[in-house]
Amino acid sequence: MPSTEPVLERKRLMRALALGREDRLIELMGQLGDLPPFEYLRKPQKGLVMVKARADAHNAPFNLGEALATRCSLSVNGNVGHAYVLGDEPTKCLAAALADALAQDPDYRPAIEQIALALEMDLARERAAKLEKIQKTKVEFFTLVRGEDAD
């Protein structure tokens, strides 16, 4: 009997949905075909969120600044989906909230997990490409020993 345990925990799933590219998320969600109707609990709305950081050895948090974010909540067949994404991205936020709600439905869960895994793969490829570009510009510094210093 196949396991009913979700492969991806919700935190990881929501991270992939929030960080993935909007066009890719919408493309992948479109491959699901006709989706069930949903009811807004909170339409996509933008606002500011405080970004906190830690810098010193004591790990004392401090307020780094504010960032623009979009949030959305909706209900699909009694399952509530939420999404928060950085920037003014109402369409992406709606798609992510819809995916979160559908992920709670056993019929849609495997497909949403595949979408999240595809988005994670995209993010990993983008990160690797950036690192490769950085490595090409990396400069190695070394010290030359001058002959007059050797006695």
- Helix/strand/coil percentages in the chain, nearest 5: 40, 25, 30
> Is 25 within 8 Å of 129 (Cβ atoms)?
no
**Which pLDDT score, from 0 to 100, does residue 57 have?**
73
Token pair 């991806």: residue: 8
**Which pLDDT score, from 0 to 100, does residue 1 have?**
41
Domain boundaries, the chain: 10-149
The predicted model scores a pTM of 0.80
pLDDT in tens, 54-106: 887 788 888 999 999 999 999 999 999 999 999 999 999 999 999 999 999 99
Rounded to the nearest 10 degrees, the angle between the axes of helix 109-136 and helix 10-19 is 60
If phi > 0 it is left, if psi is from -120 to 50 it is alpha, else beta; for residue 96 that is: alpha
